[in-house]
Amino acid sequence: MTPTYYDRPVLKPPVWIWTIPVYFFVGGIAGAAMTMGYAVQVAGGPGLRPFDERCRWIGAIGGGIGTVLLVADLGRKTRFLAMLRVFRRHSPMSIGSWVLALATPLSAGSALLTMSTGWLRGAGFTAGLGAGILGLPLATYTAVLLSNSAVPVWLATRRSLPFLFGASSAASLASLLDLMSLNDVERTIVRRFGLIGRVAELAAGVAVEHDASVNPVVGKPLHNGVSGALWTAAKVLTAGSLVLSLVPGKSKAARTAAGVCGLVGSLALRFAVFHAGKVSALDPHATFSQ
Protein backbone atom coordinates (compact mmCIF):
# COMPACT_ATOMS: atom_id res chain seq x y z
CA MET A 1 0.00 0.00 0.00
CA THR A 2 1.36 3.42 -0.96
CA PRO A 3 2.08 5.60 2.11
CA THR A 4 -0.08 8.71 2.33
CA TYR A 5 -0.60 11.59 4.69
CA TYR A 6 -3.17 9.96 6.98
CA ASP A 7 -5.20 8.89 3.91
CA ARG A 8 -6.21 12.51 3.36
CA PRO A 9 -6.49 13.97 -0.17
CA VAL A 10 -3.60 16.18 -1.17
CA LEU A 11 -5.25 17.74 -4.23
CA LYS A 12 -8.49 19.64 -4.60
CA PRO A 13 -10.81 18.17 -7.25
CA PRO A 14 -11.73 20.32 -10.26
CA VAL A 15 -14.52 22.76 -9.49
CA TRP A 16 -15.86 22.80 -13.05
CA ILE A 17 -19.55 22.17 -13.60
CA TRP A 18 -21.20 20.01 -16.27
CA THR A 19 -20.82 22.72 -18.91
CA ILE A 20 -17.07 22.03 -19.21
CA PRO A 21 -17.22 18.42 -20.50
CA VAL A 22 -20.04 19.53 -22.81
CA TYR A 23 -17.76 22.34 -23.98
CA PHE A 24 -15.02 19.77 -24.64
CA PHE A 25 -17.52 17.87 -26.80
CA VAL A 26 -18.97 20.84 -28.71
CA GLY A 27 -15.61 22.53 -29.16
CA GLY A 28 -14.15 19.32 -30.56
CA ILE A 29 -16.87 19.10 -33.20
CA ALA A 30 -16.43 22.78 -34.06
CA GLY A 31 -12.68 22.42 -34.47
CA ALA A 32 -12.98 19.32 -36.64
CA ALA A 33 -15.62 21.05 -38.80
CA MET A 34 -13.42 24.10 -39.35
CA THR A 35 -10.52 21.95 -40.48
CA MET A 36 -12.68 19.79 -42.73
CA GLY A 37 -14.25 22.91 -44.22
CA TYR A 38 -10.84 24.22 -45.23
CA ALA A 39 -9.79 20.83 -46.63
CA VAL A 40 -12.93 20.72 -48.78
CA GLN A 41 -12.36 24.34 -49.82
CA VAL A 42 -8.88 23.48 -51.11
CA ALA A 43 -9.47 20.06 -52.65
CA GLY A 44 -13.24 19.72 -53.13
CA GLY A 45 -13.98 21.96 -56.08
CA PRO A 46 -17.18 23.91 -56.83
CA GLY A 47 -19.41 20.83 -56.55
CA LEU A 48 -18.68 20.52 -52.83
CA ARG A 49 -19.14 24.19 -52.00
CA PRO A 50 -22.44 23.59 -50.12
CA PHE A 51 -20.72 20.91 -48.03
CA ASP A 52 -17.83 23.30 -47.37
CA GLU A 53 -20.25 26.00 -46.19
CA ARG A 54 -22.07 23.51 -43.98
CA CYS A 55 -18.81 22.60 -42.25
CA ARG A 56 -17.98 26.27 -41.74
CA TRP A 57 -21.38 26.96 -40.19
CA ILE A 58 -21.05 23.94 -37.92
CA GLY A 59 -17.71 25.33 -36.80
CA ALA A 60 -19.10 28.81 -36.22
CA ILE A 61 -22.23 27.68 -34.37
CA GLY A 62 -20.27 25.13 -32.34
CA GLY A 63 -17.70 27.76 -31.39
CA GLY A 64 -20.48 30.12 -30.32
CA ILE A 65 -22.15 27.45 -28.19
CA GLY A 66 -18.78 26.53 -26.72
CA THR A 67 -18.17 30.14 -25.72
CA VAL A 68 -21.55 30.27 -23.96
CA LEU A 69 -20.79 27.03 -22.10
CA LEU A 70 -17.38 28.31 -21.03
CA VAL A 71 -18.82 31.61 -19.81
CA ALA A 72 -21.53 29.70 -17.92
CA ASP A 73 -18.85 27.88 -15.95
CA LEU A 74 -16.86 31.07 -15.34
CA GLY A 75 -19.99 32.79 -14.03
CA ARG A 76 -19.48 36.15 -15.77
CA LYS A 77 -18.57 36.93 -19.38
CA THR A 78 -16.07 39.53 -18.18
CA ARG A 79 -13.95 36.66 -16.84
CA PHE A 80 -13.64 35.23 -20.34
CA LEU A 81 -12.66 38.66 -21.67
CA ALA A 82 -10.12 38.95 -18.86
CA MET A 83 -8.40 35.80 -20.14
CA LEU A 84 -7.77 37.63 -23.41
CA ARG A 85 -5.91 40.53 -21.78
CA VAL A 86 -2.61 38.68 -22.18
CA PHE A 87 -1.25 35.77 -24.21
CA ARG A 88 0.86 33.20 -22.39
CA ARG A 89 2.43 30.75 -24.81
CA HIS A 90 3.19 28.28 -22.01
CA SER A 91 -0.42 28.23 -20.75
CA PRO A 92 -2.85 25.83 -22.48
CA MET A 93 -5.76 27.82 -21.04
CA SER A 94 -4.46 31.10 -22.48
CA ILE A 95 -3.78 29.52 -25.87
CA GLY A 96 -7.18 27.81 -25.89
CA SER A 97 -9.01 31.03 -25.01
CA TRP A 98 -7.37 32.87 -27.90
CA VAL A 99 -7.96 29.98 -30.30
CA LEU A 100 -11.67 29.91 -29.42
CA ALA A 101 -11.98 33.71 -29.64
CA LEU A 102 -10.35 33.83 -33.08
CA ALA A 103 -11.58 30.62 -34.71
CA THR A 104 -15.31 31.22 -34.20
CA PRO A 105 -15.60 34.59 -36.01
CA LEU A 106 -13.18 33.40 -38.72
CA SER A 107 -15.38 30.38 -39.41
CA ALA A 108 -18.56 32.48 -39.52
CA GLY A 109 -16.86 35.12 -41.65
CA SER A 110 -15.61 32.52 -44.12
CA ALA A 111 -19.13 31.08 -44.49
CA LEU A 112 -20.62 34.51 -45.13
CA LEU A 113 -17.94 36.07 -47.30
CA THR A 114 -17.44 33.15 -49.68
CA MET A 115 -21.01 33.70 -50.86
CA SER A 116 -19.94 37.15 -52.10
CA THR A 117 -17.85 38.13 -55.13
CA GLY A 118 -14.61 39.94 -55.74
CA TRP A 119 -12.27 40.77 -52.90
CA LEU A 120 -14.87 39.83 -50.28
CA ARG A 121 -14.84 36.30 -51.62
CA GLY A 122 -11.07 36.25 -51.39
CA ALA A 123 -11.29 37.48 -47.81
CA GLY A 124 -13.68 34.60 -47.12
CA PHE A 125 -11.17 32.06 -48.38
CA THR A 126 -8.47 33.68 -46.23
CA ALA A 127 -10.76 33.50 -43.19
CA GLY A 128 -11.40 29.84 -44.01
CA LEU A 129 -7.66 29.20 -44.00
CA GLY A 130 -7.34 30.78 -40.57
CA ALA A 131 -10.30 28.84 -39.19
CA GLY A 132 -8.96 25.59 -40.67
CA ILE A 133 -5.56 26.06 -39.03
CA LEU A 134 -7.08 27.01 -35.66
CA GLY A 135 -9.55 24.13 -35.83
CA LEU A 136 -6.86 21.57 -35.05
CA PRO A 137 -5.80 23.06 -31.69
CA LEU A 138 -9.44 23.85 -30.87
CA ALA A 139 -10.25 20.13 -31.12
CA THR A 140 -7.33 19.02 -28.96
CA TYR A 141 -6.17 21.79 -26.62
CA THR A 142 -8.67 20.80 -23.93
CA ALA A 143 -6.88 17.47 -23.50
CA VAL A 144 -3.57 19.33 -23.14
CA LEU A 145 -5.24 21.59 -20.56
CA LEU A 146 -6.35 18.57 -18.51
CA SER A 147 -3.02 16.78 -18.64
CA ASN A 148 -1.12 19.95 -17.70
CA SER A 149 -2.18 19.41 -14.10
CA ALA A 150 -1.28 17.35 -11.04
CA VAL A 151 -4.42 15.19 -11.26
CA PRO A 152 -2.90 11.69 -11.47
CA VAL A 153 -5.07 10.10 -14.16
CA TRP A 154 -4.83 13.17 -16.39
CA LEU A 155 -1.10 13.55 -15.87
CA ALA A 156 -0.45 9.88 -16.61
CA THR A 157 -2.25 10.13 -19.97
CA ARG A 158 -0.66 13.42 -21.07
CA ARG A 159 0.83 11.86 -24.23
CA SER A 160 -2.20 9.92 -25.46
CA LEU A 161 -5.17 12.03 -24.30
CA PRO A 162 -4.78 14.74 -27.00
CA PHE A 163 -4.87 12.04 -29.69
CA LEU A 164 -8.03 10.61 -28.14
CA PHE A 165 -9.76 13.99 -28.07
CA GLY A 166 -8.67 14.74 -31.64
CA ALA A 167 -9.89 11.39 -32.99
CA SER A 168 -13.12 11.66 -31.02
CA SER A 169 -13.71 15.15 -32.45
CA ALA A 170 -13.37 13.81 -35.99
CA ALA A 171 -15.68 10.88 -35.24
CA SER A 172 -18.21 13.21 -33.60
CA LEU A 173 -18.29 15.49 -36.65
CA ALA A 174 -18.89 12.49 -38.92
CA SER A 175 -21.67 11.31 -36.59
CA LEU A 176 -23.32 14.73 -36.68
CA LEU A 177 -23.12 14.83 -40.48
CA ASP A 178 -24.63 11.31 -40.59
CA LEU A 179 -27.81 12.84 -39.19
CA MET A 180 -28.03 15.38 -42.02
CA SER A 181 -29.19 15.13 -45.60
CA LEU A 182 -26.21 14.48 -47.89
CA ASN A 183 -25.75 13.72 -51.55
CA ASP A 184 -23.84 10.63 -52.70
CA VAL A 185 -20.44 12.33 -52.91
CA GLU A 186 -20.81 14.00 -49.51
CA ARG A 187 -22.01 10.75 -47.97
CA THR A 188 -18.92 8.94 -49.28
CA ILE A 189 -16.63 11.59 -47.82
CA VAL A 190 -18.38 11.49 -44.44
CA ARG A 191 -18.37 7.70 -44.34
CA ARG A 192 -14.63 7.44 -44.97
CA PHE A 193 -13.86 10.28 -42.60
CA GLY A 194 -16.03 8.68 -39.94
CA LEU A 195 -14.42 5.28 -40.33
CA ILE A 196 -10.97 6.76 -39.83
CA GLY A 197 -12.12 8.83 -36.86
CA ARG A 198 -13.92 5.98 -35.10
CA VAL A 199 -11.07 3.50 -35.56
CA ALA A 200 -8.61 6.14 -34.36
CA GLU A 201 -10.81 6.93 -31.35
CA LEU A 202 -10.96 3.28 -30.29
CA ALA A 203 -7.20 2.87 -30.77
CA ALA A 204 -6.44 6.07 -28.84
CA GLY A 205 -8.79 4.93 -26.08
CA VAL A 206 -6.74 1.75 -25.70
CA ALA A 207 -3.57 3.87 -25.50
CA VAL A 208 -5.09 6.15 -22.84
CA GLU A 209 -6.24 3.18 -20.78
CA HIS A 210 -2.78 1.61 -21.06
CA ASP A 211 -1.01 4.80 -19.98
CA ALA A 212 -3.35 5.27 -17.04
CA SER A 213 -3.06 1.65 -15.94
CA VAL A 214 0.75 1.50 -15.93
CA ASN A 215 0.18 2.39 -12.30
CA PRO A 216 -2.97 0.39 -11.36
CA VAL A 217 -3.87 2.81 -8.57
CA VAL A 218 -3.91 5.73 -11.01
CA GLY A 219 -5.95 3.84 -13.60
CA LYS A 220 -8.75 2.78 -11.23
CA PRO A 221 -11.19 5.60 -12.15
CA LEU A 222 -11.35 4.28 -15.73
CA HIS A 223 -12.59 0.91 -14.47
CA ASN A 224 -14.65 1.66 -11.37
CA GLY A 225 -17.59 3.83 -10.37
CA VAL A 226 -19.44 6.37 -12.50
CA SER A 227 -16.38 7.31 -14.51
CA GLY A 228 -15.65 3.65 -15.26
CA ALA A 229 -19.23 3.05 -16.39
CA LEU A 230 -19.11 6.11 -18.66
CA TRP A 231 -15.75 5.02 -20.08
CA THR A 232 -17.10 1.56 -20.89
CA ALA A 233 -20.28 3.02 -22.39
CA ALA A 234 -18.20 5.33 -24.58
CA LYS A 235 -16.20 2.42 -25.95
CA VAL A 236 -19.28 0.31 -26.61
CA LEU A 237 -21.17 3.14 -28.31
CA THR A 238 -18.21 4.10 -30.49
CA ALA A 239 -17.68 0.48 -31.50
CA GLY A 240 -21.41 0.21 -32.28
CA SER A 241 -21.21 3.36 -34.37
CA LEU A 242 -18.28 1.90 -36.30
CA VAL A 243 -20.12 -1.36 -36.99
CA LEU A 244 -23.26 0.47 -38.12
CA SER A 245 -21.25 2.70 -40.44
CA LEU A 246 -19.95 -0.44 -42.17
CA VAL A 247 -23.46 -1.57 -43.12
CA PRO A 248 -23.50 -1.73 -46.93
CA GLY A 249 -25.99 0.25 -48.99
CA LYS A 250 -27.66 3.59 -48.37
CA SER A 251 -29.73 2.74 -45.33
CA LYS A 252 -30.82 5.97 -43.67
CA ALA A 253 -31.74 4.08 -40.50
CA ALA A 254 -28.22 2.66 -40.19
CA ARG A 255 -26.64 6.08 -40.75
CA THR A 256 -28.94 7.67 -38.19
CA ALA A 257 -28.19 4.97 -35.63
CA ALA A 258 -24.45 5.29 -36.30
CA GLY A 259 -24.69 9.05 -35.85
CA VAL A 260 -26.62 8.85 -32.59
CA CYS A 261 -24.31 6.18 -31.13
CA GLY A 262 -21.24 8.15 -32.17
CA LEU A 263 -22.43 11.42 -30.65
CA VAL A 264 -23.60 9.88 -27.37
CA GLY A 265 -20.38 7.85 -27.15
CA SER A 266 -18.23 10.93 -27.66
CA LEU A 267 -20.17 12.88 -25.04
CA ALA A 268 -19.87 9.96 -22.61
CA LEU A 269 -16.13 9.91 -23.25
CA ARG A 270 -15.75 13.57 -22.21
CA PHE A 271 -17.78 13.01 -19.05
CA ALA A 272 -15.80 9.86 -18.26
CA VAL A 273 -12.48 11.71 -18.45
CA PHE A 274 -13.96 14.61 -16.45
CA HIS A 275 -15.29 12.42 -13.62
CA ALA A 276 -12.17 10.24 -13.63
CA GLY A 277 -10.14 13.36 -12.90
CA LYS A 278 -12.36 14.34 -9.98
CA VAL A 279 -12.10 10.86 -8.46
CA SER A 280 -8.36 10.69 -9.08
CA ALA A 281 -7.71 14.03 -7.40
CA LEU A 282 -9.43 12.83 -4.22
CA ASP A 283 -7.43 9.58 -4.08
CA PRO A 284 -4.30 10.18 -1.96
CA HIS A 285 -2.87 6.79 -2.93
CA ALA A 286 -2.94 7.77 -6.61
CA THR A 287 -1.28 11.09 -5.82
CA PHE A 288 1.52 9.65 -3.66
CA SER A 289 2.11 6.66 -5.95
CA GLN A 290 3.54 9.01 -8.58
191: CB partners within 8 A, 6+ apart: 174, 245
Burial of residue 74, with CB atoms counted within 10 A of its CB: 0-12 exposed, 13-18 middle, 19 or more buried: middle
- What is the model's pLDDT at position 1? 63
Query: From first to last of its 290 residues, what are the pLDDT tens digits of the chain?
Result: 678 788 788 888 888 899 999 999 999 999 999 999 888 888 877 788 889 889 989 998 998 898 889 888 887 777 777 777 878 888 777 887 888 888 888 888 888 877 777 778 778 788 888 888 999 999 998 999 999 889 999 999 999 999 999 999 999 999 999 999 888 899 999 999 999 999 999 999 999 999 999 999 999 999 999 999 999 999 999 999 999 999 887 788 889 999 999 999 999 999 999 999 999 999 998 888 87
| Cα distances (angstroms) measured from residue 213 to each of 19, 210, 218, 272 | 28, 5, 6, 15
- pTM for the structure as a whole: 0.91
Q: How far apart are CA 43 and CA 94, in angstroms?
A: 33
Q: Which of 200, 178, 185 is nearest to 262 (CA)?
A: 178
Q: How far apart are CA 286 and CA 281, in angstroms?
A: 8
Q: Which CATH number fits domain 19-288: 3.40.228.10, 3.30.565.10, 1.20.1630.10, 3.40.50.300?
A: 1.20.1630.10
Task: List helix spans (H) across the chain.
Answer: 19-43, 49-74, 77-82, 92-113, 119-147, 152-156, 161-178, 184-213, 216-219, 225-245, 252-281, 284-288
- What is the model's pLDDT at position 205? 96
Q: How far apart are CA 211 and CA 222, in angstroms?
A: 11
Cα 112 versus chain centre, distance: 25
The single-letter code of the amino acid at 250 is K
Q: How far apart are CA 147 and CA 158, in angstroms?
A: 5
249: CB partners within 8 A, 6+ apart: none
**Angle CA 221–223–228, to nearest 5:** 75
Q: Do 121 and 113 meet the contact criterion of CB atoms below 8 Å apart? A: yes
Coil, helix or strand at residue 46: helix
Q: Do 262 and 237 meet the contact criterion of CB atoms below 8 Å apart? A: yes
**Angle CA 41–47–48, to nearest 5:** 40
Coil, helix or strand at residue 149: coil
